[in-house]
Structure 1
Amino acid sequence: MNFHAVAPKVYKAVLALDAAARQGLDPVVLELVQIRASQLNRCAYCIEYHTTDARKAGETENRVYQLSAWEDSLLYTAAERAALALTEAVTLLPGGVPDDVYEEAARHFGEEELARLIAVIFTVNVWNRMNVTTRKTPGTE
């Protein structure tokens, strides 16, 4: 299904949410979060899209490769690790977002930035669910 063509108002609303959420966030953190959520949701289209954007934002190949095992890697800053932990908690919702995960993210991101980070996480999850459900694959527009 070409979701954009079939439901253009919904698609445009998600685009607007996405644009509002990403304002003011570090582009590398933004892409790491989007790649990780896309990995968890098994969205091949979004993984390709965001790894390409991450490289454009200056991300290294090695950090992109190790992202699926970020907890065991020494390549990520404390703030990036907090953002990735929050991404996993919000994406998987394993009985809610644990207090310690939220508090660690709040230590590294101001309230407004944290709100935008949370919005980016739930927005990438919307994109992932839209693309996985409609079978959007890399190389398709």
Structure 2
Amino acid sequence: MTAYLFNADKFAFEVFADEIVVLDITEGTYFALGGWVVEIWPALAARQPVELIADAISQRYGVSGGTIADELSGLVAKLKDEAILRDAEPTDEGMVLAGATGDFRPLSFEKHVDMQDLLTLDPIHDVDPQKGWPSY
């Protein structure tokens, strides 16, 4: 079984009704994750086996296990490439999925760099005693 753990050392996330926003707190990059990831995020980020997650979603929506497994492995690869998820030993705790979000929607992954300057702004430490703020 394959499992992952959310990299809380570098990232923070917020779950909304139809998407998850993950923020890289060091670089200011943020990611928008959509589709059925909202339903699986608690399990995926907490070391639940991805094979069991894929089976549960396949049964919930009546979508082929192969389709779900392919979508999930593609998303996991992107999350690992960005270091959002790390390899981990699977947990033996029972799996908890969030409630269904409506009709089946494919997974989506968007990376945004447009707000890096704003998100990494540190006004306390960017003050120059001679020039004031900003110091650049």
TM range (shorter): 0.3 to 0.5
TM-score between the two structures when normalised by the length of structure 2: 0.33
Task: Looking at secondary structure, tell me which structure has more strand per residue.
Answer: 2
TM-score between the two structures when normalised by the length of structure 1: 0.32
Task: Looking at secondary structure, tell me which structure has more helix per residue.
Answer: 1
- Structure ID, larger Rg: 2
- Structure scoring higher RCO (CA < 8 A, sep ≥ 6) equals 1
